[in-house]
Amino acid sequence: MHIQGLALAAAAALLSGCGGSSSDDGILYAFVPPTLHSQRTYSETTVDNENNTIELSYTDTVTAVNGNGTYTVLQEDPTHESVVVNGTDYLIQTQTIQVNNSGQELSYAYVGAAGTAFNCTYTPHGPGPDFPVAVGMTWTLNYTIACGGQTPVSNVQTGTVVDAESVTVPAGTFSAIKLQSTLTWTDAQGTQRTQTVINWRDVLTSISVKQSIRIAYSGTLPTTGYAVSREIILQKRS
């Protein structure tokens, strides 16, 4: 795509010319679908309400890429480890995720502990901006997510493309766009969560390189332990 090529070339020149950071909002960054069979490995560090730290990891494997840019990801923890802290079971659920050509989730499916299959669908799609994006762009998204016959849960997200900058993680150093957003929803138990997310996406591949998440609670608090922060960092890719 001509826009994508021009955007990435301009991004590379701009980042190299100003020390890895930019406030120029004139560059368009297109979404780049992943390649078939590509894989990413992430670490996930969660801190709960009693300051316990839970360490997990998982892989995202691209199992299908369609002509329109949509794709399918298998997400799983190859060790299938489960960590129980303060009555809460922290684990990476093996799931198949359908994603559109802006990197927004459309649906996911998994099998529960009792062998029951669950299919969850976003309407119109999950969080994140519509690509292409530019620094300074903002977005607001209202969507629902419904799993099986459960009542759909309404979500509201507001976000900003904050900057383009260099970020270093174990997988390497990347020129990335920095997305900051706030996501709010209330579950069936009356617990309202406000999740503040900073997400760095590589400008060359659009993959998420690093996420920093903070979660605030109001209304009916969970009766067991609950996450108040989470860091997700790219460890390697292939």
Any domain includes 69: no
Report yes or no: 235 and 96 within 8 Å, Cβ to Cβ: no
Q: How confident is the model at residue 236 (pLDDT cuts 50, 70, 90)?
A: very high
In a domain, residue 87? The reply is no
Tens-place pLDDT, residues 98-140: 999 999 999 999 997 777 899 999 999 999 999 999 999 999 9
Domain assignment of residue 68, yes or no? no
Domain span including residue 187: 2-57+127-237
Cα–Cα distances in angstroms (integers) from residue 125 to residues 104, 154, 194, in the given order? 6, 12, 19
Position 149 scores a pLDDT of 83
Domain annotation covers residue 80 = no
Amino acid present at 225: G
Judge whether 46 lies within some domain.
yes
Q: Is residue 181 part of a domain?
A: yes
Residue 76 Cα distances to 48, 53, 57, 83, 114, angstroms: 22, 20, 9, 15, 18
**What is the domain-level CATH number for residue 38?**
2.40.360
Please tell me the total count of domains within the chain: 1
Q: Read off the DSSP letter of residue 29.
A: B
CB 158 within 8 A of CB 138: yes
Torsions phi, psi for 161 (to 5 deg): -85, 105
- On whether residue 27 sits in a domain, the answer given is yes
pLDDT given for residue 25 in this prediction: 53
Q: Give a yes or no: residue 65 inside a domain.
A: no
